[in-house]
Structure 1
Amino acid sequence: MHGGESGPWRGALAVVLLAVAQILVVFDTAVFAVGLPLIQAHRHLSFSGLTWLLSVYSVCFAALPVLAGALGRAFGHRRVLMGGFALSSLAAAAPALSLSASVLLASRAVQGVAAAVITAGALALIDATHPAGRDRDRALNVHFAVVACATPAVLLPCTMLLDSVRTEDTVFWVQAVAGGVLLLLTPVALAETAPVPGARTRVAGAALAVVPLGFLAWFADRLGDKSVSVTTVMAIAVGAALVPSVLGWLGRGERVPALLARLYRERSAFGAYTVVALLAAGLAGAVLVLTIALQLLGGLSPMQVGWALLSAVAGVVLGCLVLPVLAARVGLAGTVAGACVVAAAGFVLLSLPGASYRFADVLLPLLLIAFGCGVLALPAGFARSGSGALPQELNSSRQFGAGLGASLFVGVIAVAQQRTTGTSLPVLKAYKAIMAGGIRDCFALGTALCLTAALVALVALPRHGGRTTGPEPDLSGGAPAGTAGSPGSSAR
Structure 2
Amino acid sequence: MASSGGAVRTRRSGPAVVLLAVAQVLVVFDTTVFTMGLPWLMARAGLSISGLTWLLTVYSVCFAALPALAAALGEAFGQRRVLTAGLVLSTLAAAVPGVTSDASLLLGARAVQGVAAAVITAGALALIDAAHPAGPVRDRALNVHFVVVAAALPAVLLPAVLLLDLTSDTETAFWVQAAASAVLLVLTPLVLTETTPVPGGARRVGRAAQWVMPLGFLAWFADWLGDHSVSLETVVLIAVAGALLPSVLAWAGRGERMPELFARLYRERAAVGAYTVVALVATCLAGLLYILSLALQLLGGMSPVQVGWAMLPAVAGIALGWLVLPVLAARIGVGITVAGACAVAAVGFLVLSLRGAAGFGAVVPPLLLVAFGCGVLALPVGFARSGSGALPQGLNSSRQLGTGLGVSLFPGIVVAVQQESSSRMTDIKAYRSYLAHGAHDCFQLGVALSLAAMVVALLTLTRITPAPEPEPEPGLSGGAPAGTAGSPGS
TM-score strictly above 0.5:
yes
In the alignment, the residues of structure 2 paired with residue 437 and residue 42 of structure 1 have an alpha-carbon distance, to the nearest angstrom, of 32
Is the 2:77–2:197 contact (alpha carbons within 8 Å) kept by the matching residues of 1? yes
Which deviates more, 19-28 or 378-387? 378-387
Amino acid at match of 2:110: R
Larger mean Cα displacement after TM superposition, 47-56 or 128-137: 47-56
Alpha-carbon spacing, 1:482–1:243, altered in 2? closer, same or farther (3 Å) = closer
Q: Is the 8 A contact 1:388 1:480 kept in 2?
A: no
Supply the distance in 1 between the matched residues of 2:364 and 2:9 (Cα, whole angstroms): 46
Q: How does 1:92-131 map to 2 (within 5 A)?
A: 92-131=94-133
Q: Look up the match of 2:363.
A: 362
Partner of residue 273 from structure 1, selected from 272, 275, 289: 275
Match of 1:383 in 2: 384
Assess, with a 3 A threshold, how the Cα gap between structure 1 residues 106 and 482 changes in structure 2: closer, same or farther.
closer
Q: CA deviation at 1:490?
A: 7.5
Q: Whole-Å Cα distance in 2 between the matches of residues 248 and 148 of structure 1?
A: 24
Cα displacement (A) at 1:36: 3.1
Aligned to 2:434: 434
Aligned to 2:375: 374
The corresponding residue for 2:42 is 40
Which residue does 1:219 correspond to in 2? 221
Query: In the alignment, what sits opposite 2:328?
Result: 326
Per-residue Cα deviation, 1:260-309 (whole angstroms, up to 9, x for no partner): 99968622111111100110111111111111111111111110010000
Q: Distance in 1 between matches of 2:152 and 2:409?
A: 21
What is the alpha-carbon distance in structure 1 between the residues aligned to residue 383 and residue 321 of structure 2?
14
Letter in 1 for 2:114: G
For 1:186, the aligned partner's letter is T
For residue 395 of structure 1, what is the aligned residue in structure 2?
396
Q: Equivalent residue of 1:388, what SS?
A: coil
Native 8 Å contact 1:262 1:269 kept in 2: no
**Identity value in percent:** 63
In structure 2, what is the Cα distance between the partners aligned to 1:243 and 1:177?
A: 36
The 1:248–1:393 alpha-carbon spacing in structure 2 relative to 1, beyond 3 Å, is: closer
Structure 1 partner of 2:481: 479
- Give distance in 2, aligned partners of 1:365 and 1:4: 43
Which of 184, 187, 203 is 1:185 aligned to?
187
What is the number of equivalent residue pairs in this alignment? Answer: 478
**Structure 1 residue aligned with 2:141:** 139
Q: Letter of the 1:183 partner, please give it.
A: L
| Residues 48 and 262 of structure 1, relative CA distance in 2, 3 Å threshold | farther
TM-score by length of 2: 0.92
In 1, are the aligned partners of 2:130 and 2:479 still within 8 Å (CA)?
A: no
State the partner residue of 1:405: 406
- In the alignment, what sits opposite 2:347? 345
TM superposition shift of 1:482: 6.5
**Contact kept? 2:243, 2:398, Cα under 8 Å:** no
- Larger displacement relative to structure 2 (408-417 or 355-364): 408-417
Tell me, in whole angstroms, the C-alpha distance in 2 between the residues paired with 1:442 and 1:228.
13
Is 1:415 the equivalent of 2:423?
A: no
C-alpha contact (below 8 Å) 1:77/1:125 kept by paired residues: yes
Amino acid at match of 1:466: P
Higher mean displacement: 268-277 or 230-239: 230-239
| 8 A contact 1:152–1:310 mirrored in 2 | yes
- 1:265/1:13 Cα in 2 relative to 1: closer, same or farther (>3 Å)? farther
Partner of 2:210, secondary structure, is helix
Matched, 1:70 2:72: yes
Please report how far the alpha carbon of residue 440 of structure 1 lies from its aligned counterpart in structure 2 after TM superposition: 1.5
The change in CA–CA distance for 1:477 and 1:73 in structure 2 (over 3 A counts) is closer
Distance 1:370 1:211, change over 3 A: same
2:84 alignment partner in structure 1: 82
TM-score w.r.t. length of structure 1: 0.91
Q: CA deviation at 1:156?
A: 0.8
Q: 1:243 to 1:195 in 2, by over 3 A?
A: same
Specify the code of the residue in structure 1 equivalent to 2:147. Answer: A
Q: State the one-letter code of the partner of 2:356.
A: A
| Preserved contact between residue 229 and residue 420 of structure 2 (Cα < 8 Å) | no
Question: Which runs of no fewer than 5 residues in structure 2 stay unpaired?
Answer: 257-261
Query: d(CA) in 2 for partners of 1:261 and 1:281?
Result: 28
The superposition leaves residues 41-72 of structure 1 with CA deviations (integer Å, 9 ceiling, x where unpaired) of 44443333333222221111111111111111
Q: Give the superposition deviation at 1:448.
A: 1.4
Partner of 2:446: 446
Once the two structures are overlaid, the 10-residue window that deviates more, 284-293 or 304-313, is 284-293
- The secondary structure found in structure 2 opposite 1:299 is coil
Tell me, in whole angstroms, the C-alpha distance in 2 between the residues paired with 1:159 and 1:27.
10
Aligned to 2:259: none
RMSD of equivalent CA atoms: 2.5
